[in-house]
Amino acid sequence: MRKKKKTETQYLEGAVITDMAADGLALARVEDKVYFIEGAVPGDVVNARVLRDKKRYAMAQMTELITPSPQRIDAVCEHFDYCGGCKWQNLSYATQLEYKGKQVYDALTRLGKLDLSEQVRVYGSTQQYEFRNKLEFTFSPSRWLTPEELADESILKPQPGVGFHLPGRFDKVLHVDTCHLMDDKMNLIRNHVHQLGLEHGLTRYNVREHHGFLRTLTIRNTSLGEWMVLLMVGEDQPEALKLVLDSLASTFPWINSLLYVINTKKNDTLYDQEVLVWKGSDVIVEALEDLRFEISAKSFFQTNSKQALELYKITRDFAGLTGKELVYDLYTGTGSIAQFVAAKAKKVIGVEYVEAAVVDARKNAEKNGISNCEFFAGDMKDLLNDEFLAKHGRPDLIITDPPRAGMHADVVEMLCRIGAPRIVYVSCNPATQARDLDLMRAHYRLVKYQPVDMFPQTAHVENVALLEKI
């Protein structure tokens, strides 16, 4: 294997992929330098073009697969080469789980500086496709064309489309005919609106010039088989709106909640917009065991419902509640973990930043007949203070489920000061979790942990850790 220079661009020849990096890129070591190579998997021997060359590492793109790895499989999706969504589709699921487990182990041992004997098996998802309950698609008057399409003179340009943004590109939409991440009914709905748009010459939103009618389409479902469809349009065109929504309602009578938003502002954010009901309810209902959660267009809910149930069961199991405990559920979102453990606790206090989520949490708890949960809105580092503790009591157990950035250093410090006997730390980012555990090392020890796969075909992995006060 050798590295050679061709004019300005560097190429790697015969690079052997030996590992997978934390962000899901394949890794090769050549002459003491680490290369992160897009498109390759461990065990491959590849040629690659260097995209960015730094002193100690370089980013590269596979240009030729010389010897395929035995772990390599064919991707299911026709859009795999360009869509950024499911980059691990070319790895067998067993191998995906192996590398996710390694990612957690590496984070805990290297960043968390923990002494762990062995890697824990990741709790895999029974569904490896069609596991998502929510997808958002963007319409474009001029979809991004693949190099093959650009070269094809029989394809008129520009081409309208609907699909996902290319990785990191707000203005480039990859047209999608079939996505395998959600029940196939989602494809029928999206393709129907796309076809209607073509047949009736409906304009599509131009993100640079800020005009056009069809803007985004958000499709959600629940494990109870309920469907929500939200059409966002960029211009107030009552006739066109009626045409699309009536057609959706009559073609797919099983849609429980058909919604729309007329959004004439420059960004796609829904949260400051009025969501209107065209047909049916303004919510759909999700179930976790015997609990029910009403989900509105603006509500957050874990995007893999079946695996969320498993994650919550592991969390409840790690919590080991007896019915006597005061529990704090930090970063509670719409209070689903709080309600999930409520029957086994004396009382649960949920804290969350987003006011609307707290409103949903209170409403759902009431509908579930849960009277021992209270929810408070505020920034964790400000709200969780001595006054809050004096008012609500010192917790016997803390469950914390922060966003990818992990906990703010002030919150970590506060948790150490509170000194609850046990903490269950649920994380969607093992690196920041490991960083936080390291900050807590003088006060807490790791008893056990369980990685959970919420997002097959991606490098993402969730990890639940049980900590005990030293």
Ligand X SMILES: C[S@@+](CC[C@H](N)C(=O)[O-])C[C@H]1O[C@@H](n2cnc3c(N)ncnc32)[C@H](O)[C@@H]1O
What is the total count of residues that contact ligand X (CB under 6 A)?
17
**Min separation Cβ 295 and ligand X, Å:** 11
- What residues contact residue 319 under an 8 Å CB cut-off, 6+ apart? 327, 341, 344, 397, 399, 422, 424
352 belongs to the binding site for ligand X (CB under 6 A): yes
H-assigned helices in 212-335 = 238-251, 305-319
**Min separation Cβ 300 and ligand X, Å:** 6
* Among 23, 59, 25, CA closest to 44: 25
Q: Specify the stretch interacting with ligand X by CB under 6 A; choose among 4-12, 145-153, 273-281, 331-339.
A: 331-339
Give the contact letters, 280-309, x = binds to ligand X (CB under 6 A), - = no.
Answer: --------------------x-x-------
Are 84 and 164 within 8 A, CB to CB? yes
Compare residues 106 and 286 and give the one whose CB is closer to ligand X.
Answer: 286
Q: Specify the stretch interacting with ligand X by CB under 6 A; choose among 14-22, 51-59, 139-147, 333-341.
A: 333-341
Rounded CA gap, 107 and 429, in Å?
Answer: 9
Q: Specify the stretch interacting with ligand X by CB under 6 A; choose among 75-83, 122-130, 256-264, 397-405.
A: 397-405
Q: Specify the stretch interacting with ligand X by CB under 6 A; choose among 86-94, 146-154, 254-262, 351-359.
A: 351-359
- What residues contact residue 297 under an 8 Å CB cut-off, 6+ apart? 218, 228, 230, 257, 259, 270, 275, 282
Rounded CA gap, 2 and 270, in Å?
Answer: 51
Compare residues 205 and 331 and give the one whose CB is closer to ligand X.
Answer: 331
Q: Is 373 a catalytic residue?
A: no
Tell me how crowded residue 412 is: count the other CB atoms within 10 A of its CB: 21
Phi, psi of 456 (to 5 degrees): -55, 155
H/E stretch holding 329 reads strand 326-330
256 belongs to the binding site for ligand X (CB under 6 A): no
H/E stretch holding 391 reads helix 386-392
337 belongs to the binding site for ligand X (CB under 6 A): yes
Compare residues 47 and 364 and give the one whose CB is closer to ligand X.
Answer: 364
**Min separation Cβ 381 and ligand X, Å:** 6
Q: Which of 205, 227, 331, 455 binds ligand X (CB under 6 A)?
A: 331
Catalytic residues: 428
- Tell me which residues touch ligand X (CB under 6 A): 300, 302, 331-333, 336-337, 352-354, 357, 379-380, 401-403, 428
